[in-house]
Structures are given as C-alpha cells and as structure tokens.
Amino acid sequence: MAKVKGDIIIDIEKCKGCELCVEACSQDSLTTSKKVNSKGYLYIVKIEDNCTGCTNCALVCPEGAITVYRKTANRKEQIAKITNVTKDMTITVNE
C-alpha cells in the first residue's frame, strides 16, 4: 500500500492568529507568520513538510480556516473541512 502523507491548506484571510492549531499539531508543522492578513491578524503558516493529515488543527480551529488533505503518490484527497463555523457548524471527516 502506498504511503499516505498529509497536507493542509490555510485560508489566511479567515485566520485570527489564535494559535490553537499550532498547539494541536504534534508534528510542529505550523507557526505564526510575521505578516498580517487584510484584517490585521498574524496568520498561521506551514513550516514543515511532515504533516500526517491527522486533522487535529482543522478540528480545533474556531474559524474553519484549515482544510486537511491526505495524499498518496497518485491521489490527493480532501478528508476534513470545517464549515459554517459562525452558524450551524458542519464537520466532515472522511477516514
């Protein structure tokens, strides 16, 4: 079986820099950028290419700013996306 690797996409305009995702990542893949988004928040960036796709960061993010993918050599599949955070929260995790 092909080795599965994780990846994330951060919507930096949604990020408020709370750093909950940084604390939640056991891989130390994330840190706070030195730049701010259009709302003035220091946003989060990925600094290591060691993501396992565990989904912890997406699950703790109160802004729904992180989408998690798991990929093999041939495929990249979205497995976690948090939406409607301010209204009826929707969490989708495909294991």
Instruction: Name the residue nearer to ligand SF4 (CB basis): 55 or 73.
Output: 55
Please identify which residue in 5, 34, 51, 88 interacts with ligand SF4, judged by CB under 6 A. 51
> Which residues are within 8 A (CB) of 47 and not within 5 positions of it... i.e. 6 or more apart?
29, 30, 31
Out of 9, 18, 45, 85, which residue is the one contacting ligand SF4 (CB under 6 A)?
18
Contacting range for ligand SF4; rule: CB under 6 A; set: 13-21, 71-79, 84-92: 13-21
> CA dist 55 to 41, 52, 71, Å?
23, 8, 13
Instruction: Decide if 51 contacts 8 (C-beta within 8 A).
Output: yes
Considering only residues 59 through 88, tell me which ones interact with ligand SF4, judged by CB under 6 A.
60-61, 63, 65-66, 68
Give the integer Cα–Cα distance in Å for 66 and 20.
12
State the Cα–Cα distance between residues 92 and 79, nearest whole angstrom: 7
- Min CB(27)–ligand SF4 separation in Å: 4
Binding site for ligand SF4 (CB under 6 A): 6, 8, 10, 15-21, 24-25, 27, 29-30, 44, 51-57, 60-61, 63, 65-66, 68
